[in-house]
Structure 1
Amino acid sequence: MAEDEKRDKTELQMMKELVDELYNFRDCYFETHSVEEAGRKQSDVAREIEKTLKKLEEKEDNFQDTAEFLLQKGRCLNVAPDFSAVAEVCLSRAVKLEPGLVDGWNTLGEQYWKKGDLIGAKNCFTGALQQSKNKVSLRNLSMVLRQLPAADSDAHSKQVLESVDMARQAVQLDVTDGTSWYILGNAYVSLFFTCGQNPQLSQQALSAYAQSEKVERAASCYPELHFNRSTLFQYEEMFGSALGGYSRAAALDPGWEEPPEREKQLLEYLKKVTELIQNKGKVKARRLRTMLSNLSTSALGPCSSPQFRSPTGRVGSLEPRTLTSLTHGLNSGVAAMGKVVFSLASEGRMAFTFGMVDSEEVCIVVMVYNTADSWGVLIGDTVVIPEPQVKRNSITHKDESFDFRSIRVDSPLLLIVNGKKQNVQSQIAASVSYKPQSE
């Protein structure tokens, strides 16, 4: 009897190793294949699943009522991106037979998730954590919490904060796990866009992604990592890095439509912006002179008051400056002033973009974040930007190059339009879609 038990144990261990190899084939595909072969990954993985499943099913008669066998069969089917009813049955039976089977609960949770049953998935991951604290349950819970519907924005913020905490705990359990670092990066991206775009959170997200690639070579081949990081890069106006990341995500997963779409949109946006700056929004010379003739310091409005409090907290009136005299970075104590000559609300926009021309007929592009859909400026409006944050953009991507200066404004509330401050309704927190799941 002991001999039989020993043999069964050895066979089950071999099955587990077979399935582990299958996961390794999927997750480390690009360590043995070139990026040019990315289009074959899905069919290659499907073929490996078939081969592994066949080997498992050869032993099914002896082990069909064994929790460990049911777990490995469920895990094997779980490698596929879609829900499998057979996997759900196997895994449900496995955890009934052996309620302490943490891997069983985790894999069952992933199946519920693929099926769209987020509550069921959450219960499985929570159940697994009650058996034992483990990184897989923690990071899966982190992802599910960000996707669960919330009653209101406060409840959603609470879920996102909890999700960051779960991802942090997963990293603490194993600091050498690239997937846990990557999921922590995603949690920070979500927190960044949920809780008022604190630059510190954006840095924490980028650090987590970098750490993910550092500790695990396969992580640099996660298309979602490049896509999500590019979403952040684009918001931070690191356009060259964003384009590079979208392009890399598209190469790693040719079947995923969003990365090439985002890359194309961003390129079109940059083309449009540079063209409009060069031709000053196509405003005719005579009309432009007429517009600029009534540009006067009275448009400074509240900025001319000695009590004016700048976005940086400085108190005192601001001195109007021409666009050419502005330095890169923050221009303290001064204001940029001009007439709007074009505006742009591009597809998938993150910023309301407009161009303004100053008294010297110099044109610059202004990118305003967190604007309500109803907010905008019209051609001919006078805009004053207190303490402008100026940036030189020099971008080369594939065969295209762009070079222009821009001003970043984090909220429409910071602008003075036609001598007036903007009302609170003009601002809304930016929401940006990123790929939340690592599966």
Structure 2
Amino acid sequence: MSFGRSNNDETNSDINCDSPKGIMDFLTYKVEAVYTFRDRYFENHSFDDAIHKNDDVKKLLDETLEIFEENEAAAMQNNKARYYYLRGRLLNVVPMYCKEAENLLSKAIKLDRKLVEAWNELGECYWKNDELKKSINCFEGALKERKNKVSLRNLSMLSRQDVPNSKADYTAHVEKGLNYAKEAVQMDPHDGLSWSVLGNAHLSYFFGVQQNPKILRQCISAYSQAEKDIVARSTPDLHYNKGITLRYKEEFKEALESFNQASLYDSTWEPPKKREQQLVKYLNDVVELVTTKGKLKTKKLQSLLSSIEAKQLGPYLEDTKNIVTGENRKLVKVNVKDLIPGLNELKVLLGKVVCSVRNEDTVPFTFCLLDENGDCIVVTIFNLADGRGVIIGDSVAIPEPFVKIVDFTYKSVRYNFKLLRVESPLLLAVNGKLLQRNQAAGVQMSIFKKCD
């Protein structure tokens, strides 16, 4: 009986290789060693080695397969179902779909339908092959046998990918995915992968159901918990999705750093690089358009300035209800220079739109607003229906504006501008009239999951 080569003689010495059970224990250990090597790769390798990670994992996989070949007869005699499962799980360690892995895992389940781990691995296998319905059936099959965090978090992710067209059904799917993720975290609060999935579930809720800043804070909190776990912290999609969240929190520097971090963990993966490039371009455009006041010619600017009138405040000419206290108070008209960081209570800013800022995403809608003094500020609007933005020349009144000073340097370029964030477009008075409810809407976005 041969037990092959060992990468860790001390650990192997704890396994009783003379017993039939010892064969399965040994093979189980060898499979888990491959997964540990993959998941904790950057504990012993630099980011410069990232490009070699998949090849290094494949090399260890091939070596371990030789050990399986040497011990197949004895292992099959001991526990055929578990052997098929272990070999299928071993082959499933790489990102690509493997037909042999699917066949082995299917055989394992036919022999032992209570083998939860095999159900989960087969679900992963189908997922890699874009067979989402089969994948969902596998994870649900595992849950029927035993409640477990792996099935729960995978169903959370799949519930956001296999979605219906209607808004009501979509919302139900997103909420179901959020509940699955919460259950997974409750089962093991120390599992960073489950926390990462919970962060993604909150982010899907933000885009698909309600663009509430509280939800973005919940996302960041979940991702921060995930980063405490070395396995989760080493996955590029954690940093990628965190970067997306930070981008919509308008924490631009931290978002760029997260996209860059994702690229360090997998230099061959394009989405983080693309996101970083898009955000850099967006910020460069913002700075240029604010500085040049939308690149409008002097005559056009003067025409816009002279057309700013108090009547364009519309409903904000009269007493209005305070956002925070709910009291009816008259708002005081202010200009850009009067705005302070944070909430400007009982103030209203009036100005003219001089340009919109191109954004690869539909959220937020971004434009530059010129006040009567000729000062310019960037305005971002969330929860705005697609195609419902303002246009050059529109007058816009913004009550109790929330302002942020953006000032940071990234890769030797400084970004410095004043940003006004509007959570609900229904607060805006455009050309003297409040926007209507049909101009406010949520959007949908797919959260990315890599198969590592």
TM-score interval for Structure 1 and Structure 2 normalised by the shorter chain: over 0.9
The equivalent of 2:260 in structure 1 is: 247
The equivalent of 2:164 in structure 1 is: 150
The equivalent of 2:7 in structure 1 is: none
Alpha-carbon displacement from aligned partner over 1:155-195 (angstroms, at most 9, x marks no partner): 22222222222222222222221111111211121122222
Task: Note the C-alpha offset of 1:328.
Answer: 1.0
Task: Note the C-alpha offset of 1:359.
Answer: 1.1
The equivalent of 1:8 in structure 2 is: 20
1:41 aligns with 2:53: yes
The one-letter code matched in structure 2 to 1:352 is: F
- TM alignment of 1:257-268, pairs within 5 A: 257-268=270-281
Question: Are 2:126 and 2:135, in contact at CA under 8 Å, matched by a contact in 1?
Answer: yes
Q: 5+ unaligned residues in a row in structure 2: which ranges?
A: 1-15
Alignment CA distance shift 1:339-1:422 (3 Å): same
Give the 3-state SS of the residue equivalent to 2:19 in structure 1.
Answer: helix
The equivalent of 1:107 in structure 2 is: 121
Task: Note the C-alpha offset of 1:349.
Answer: 4.6
Residues of 2 paired with 1:346 and 1:203: CA distance?
Answer: 23
1:237 aligns with 2:250: yes
Question: Are 2:370 and 2:377, in contact at CA under 8 Å, matched by a contact in 1?
Answer: yes
Task: Note the C-alpha offset of 1:104.
Answer: 0.9
Q: 5+ unaligned residues in a row in structure 1: which ranges?
A: none
Query: Identity rate of aligned residues, in percent?
Result: 40
Greater shift after overlay, 376-385 or 293-302? Answer: 376-385
Question: Are 1:265 and 1:348, in contact at CA under 8 Å, matched by a contact in 2?
Answer: no
Greater shift after overlay, 416-425 or 310-319? Answer: 310-319
Instruction: Give the one of 367, 389, 392 matched to 2:405.
Output: 392
Give the 3-state SS of the residue equivalent to 2:348 in structure 1.
Answer: strand
Task: Note the C-alpha offset of 1:211.
Answer: 1.1
Alpha-carbon displacement from aligned partner over 1:238-279 (angstroms, at most 9, x marks no partner): 001100001111111111111011101111111111111111
The one-letter code matched in structure 1 to 2:43 is: E
Give the 3-state SS of the residue equivalent to 2:90 in structure 1.
Answer: helix
Alpha-carbon displacement from aligned partner over 1:324-356 (angstroms, at most 9, x marks no partner): 111111111111011111112322352111111
Residues of 1 paired with 2:306 and 2:430: CA distance?
Answer: 17
Question: Are 2:203 and 2:245, in contact at CA under 8 Å, matched by a contact in 1?
Answer: yes
Alpha-carbon displacement from aligned partner over 1:57-87 (angstroms, at most 9, x marks no partner): 2223444470111011100011111211111
Alpha-carbon displacement from aligned partner over 1:100-120 (angstroms, at most 9, x marks no partner): 111111111111111222221
Instruction: Give the one of 55, 65, 70 matched to 1:53.
Output: 65
Alignment CA distance shift 1:429-1:60 (3 Å): same
Residues of 1 paired with 2:423 and 2:243: CA distance?
Answer: 19
Greater shift after overlay, 33-42 or 346-355? Answer: 346-355
Question: Are 1:183 and 1:438, in contact at CA under 8 Å, matched by a contact in 2?
Answer: no
Greater shift after overlay, 324-333 or 410-419? Answer: 410-419
Task: Note the C-alpha offset of 1:364.
Answer: 0.7
Alpha-carbon displacement from aligned partner over 1:258-310 (angstroms, at most 9, x marks no partner): 1011101111111111111111112222332222112111111111122x345
The one-letter code matched in structure 1 to 2:354 is: V
Residues of 1 paired with 2:321 and 2:85: CA distance?
Answer: 63
Give the 3-state SS of the residue equivalent to 1:54 in structure 2.
Answer: helix
Give the 3-state SS of the residue equivalent to 2:329 in structure 1.
Answer: coil
Instruction: Give the one of 23, 26, 29 matched to 2:35.
Output: 23
Question: Are 1:31 and 1:218, in contact at CA under 8 Å, matched by a contact in 2?
Answer: no
Residues of 2 paired with 1:147 and 1:425: CA distance?
Answer: 27
The one-letter code matched in structure 2 to 1:213 is: E
Alignment CA distance shift 1:122-1:248 (3 Å): same
TM-score by length of 1: 0.94
The equivalent of 1:374 in structure 2 is: 387
Residues of 2 paired with 1:295 and 1:201: CA distance?
Answer: 37
Task: Note the C-alpha offset of 1:5.
Answer: 11
Residues of 2 paired with 1:123 and 1:343: CA distance?
Answer: 46
Greater shift after overlay, 320-329 or 192-201? Answer: 192-201
Question: Are 1:186 and 1:436, in contact at CA under 8 Å, matched by a contact in 2?
Answer: no
TM-score by length of 2: 0.91
The equivalent of 1:383 in structure 2 is: 396
The equivalent of 1:323 in structure 2 is: 336
Residues of 2 paired with 1:57 and 1:8: CA distance?
Answer: 16
The equivalent of 2:138 in structure 1 is: 124
Greater shift after overlay, 297-306 or 5-14? Answer: 5-14
1:90 aligns with 2:108: no
Question: Are 2:196 and 2:223, in contact at CA under 8 Å, matched by a contact in 1?
Answer: yes
Greater shift after overlay, 205-214 or 9-18? Answer: 205-214
Question: Are 2:290 and 2:378, in contact at CA under 8 Å, matched by a contact in 1?
Answer: yes
